[in-house]
C-alpha cells in the first residue's frame, strides 16, 4: 500500500491540468523552451549570415602607409581594403609591427615581418617551404624564375611567381640588417600576393607599385 500511495503522490506532482496542455505539452514550459531555441538560432545561424553579408569597409586612402615596425613602411594600393594592420600616424598605435593584410576582389597581399639573418634568396627559400606545403594549398609550385627587385628608395629584394590549379600569385622578400635604431635585430619581410587564376594580371600595376613602396624610414 505504501508503494501505491507514493506512486499516486508522484503522479499528482507531475500531472498537468488539461487547460495547461497543448499538443500534450505543458504550456508553461513552452515559452522558456522557445526563448532558448530562438537564442540558439540567432547565435548559430542568423548572426553568421549577417556577418558574412556585411562587407569589410576599411579602404586604403591615397597617401596611406602601413606601419610594419622598426621604421619599415609600405604603401598599399589605394582603394584596397585593410583587413589587418596599422597605418602610419593612425589613431591606434602598432603594438607589434609584424603583419598586415590588404585585399581587393578576391586578391590578397599578406605582409609579414620577423627576425631573420640571411640573404633575400635564403628568406625566399624559407617562405616557399612554409607557403607551398600547407593543407589548403597543396598544389602550388613556384615558377623557378627569380628576379631582383629594387624599391623606390633603393632597397633590394627578390621576387618569384607561383602557380596552381586554382590560384596564382607572387612572393617578394627583403632582408634588413640591424641598424641599432628602429631595427634592433636582423629582419626579414615577406609579401605574399595570392589571387584566383586569371585575376593577378588585373592588379599587376597595383602590386608592383606596392612592392616598390617598401621603405625603411630614414632612408626615404
**Does the pLDDT at position 51 exceed 50?**
no
Is residue 43 within a helix (H) or strand (E), and if so which, with residue range?
none
In a domain, 108, yes or no: yes
**Do 138 and 180 belong together in one domain?**
yes
Which range of residues forms the domain containing residue 82? Answer: 66-216
**Do 39 and 79 belong together in one domain?**
no
| DSSP assignments along 143-165, one per residue | -S--EEEE-TTS-EEEEEEEE-S
Split into its structural domains, the chain has a count of 2
Backbone angles phi, psi at 128, to 5 degrees: -60, -45
CATH code where residue 117 lies: 3.40.1000.10
**Nearest by Cα to 113 from 93, 96, 128:** 96
Cross-sheet strand order for the sheet of 215-216: 66-67, 72-74, 215-216
**Do 73 and 144 belong together in one domain?**
yes
Q: Is 136 exposed, middle or buried (0-12, 13-18, 19+ CB in 10 A)?
A: exposed
pLDDT, one tens digit per residue, over 71-129 is 899 999 999 999 999 998 876 655 555 789 999 999 999 999 999 999 999 999 888 87
**Does the pLDDT at position 52 exceed 50?**
no
**Nearest by Cα to 72 from 58, 62, 60, 86:** 86
Rounded to whole angstroms, the Cα distance separating 26 from 178 reads 73
Rounded to whole angstroms, the Cα distance separating 132 from 191 reads 14
Q: pTM for the complete prediction?
A: 0.71
**Do 183 and 76 belong together in one domain?**
yes
**Do 71 and 167 belong together in one domain?**
yes
**Do 37 and 101 belong together in one domain?**
no
In a domain, 209, yes or no: yes
SS3 87: strand
What pLDDT shows up at residue 17? Answer: 57
In a domain, 120, yes or no: yes
**Do 116 and 186 belong together in one domain?**
yes
What pLDDT shows up at residue 57? Answer: 84
CB neighbour burial string for 53-78, b if at least 16 within 10 angstroms, e if fewer: eeeeeeebeeebbbbbbbbbbbbbbe
Amino acid at each position: 500500500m505504501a508503494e501505491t500511495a507514493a506512486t499516486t503522490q508522484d503522479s499528482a506532482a507531475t500531472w498537468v491540468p488539461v487547460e495547461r496542455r497543448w499538443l500534450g505539452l505543458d504550456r508553461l514550459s513552452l515559452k522558456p523552451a522557445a526563448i532558448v531555441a530562438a537564442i540558439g538560432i540567432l547565435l548559430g545561424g542568423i548572426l553568421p549570415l549577417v556577418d558574412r553579408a556585411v562587407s569589410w569597409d576599411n579602404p586604403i586612402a591615397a597617401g596611406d602607409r602601413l606601419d610594419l615596425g622598426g621604421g619599415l613602411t609600405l604603401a598599399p594600393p589605394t582603394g584596397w581594403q585593410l583587413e589587418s594592420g596599422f597605418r602610419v600616424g593612425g589613431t591606434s598605435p602598432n603594438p607589434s609591427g609584424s603583419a598586415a593584410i590588404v585585399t581587393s576582389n578576391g586578391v590578397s597581399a599578406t605582409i609579414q615581418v620577423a627576425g631573420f639573418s640571411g640573404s633575400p634568396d635564403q628568406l625566399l627559400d624559407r617562405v616557399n617551404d612554409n607557403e607551398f606545403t600547407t593543407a589548403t594549398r597543396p598544389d602550388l609550385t613556384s615558377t623557378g624564375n627569380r628576379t631582383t627587385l629594387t624599391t623606390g628608395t633603393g632597397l633590394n629584394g627578390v621576387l618569384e611567381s607561383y602557380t596552381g590549379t586554382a590560384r596564382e600569385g607572387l612572393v617578394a622578400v627583403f632582408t634588413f640588417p640591424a641598424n641599432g635604431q628602429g631595427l634592433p635585430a636582423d629582419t626579414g619581410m615577406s609579401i605574399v600576393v595570392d589571387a584566383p587564376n586569371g585575376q593577378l594580371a588585373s592588379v599587376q600595376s597595383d602590386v608592383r607599385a606596392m612592392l616598390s613602396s617598401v621603405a625603411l624610414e630614414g632612408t626615404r
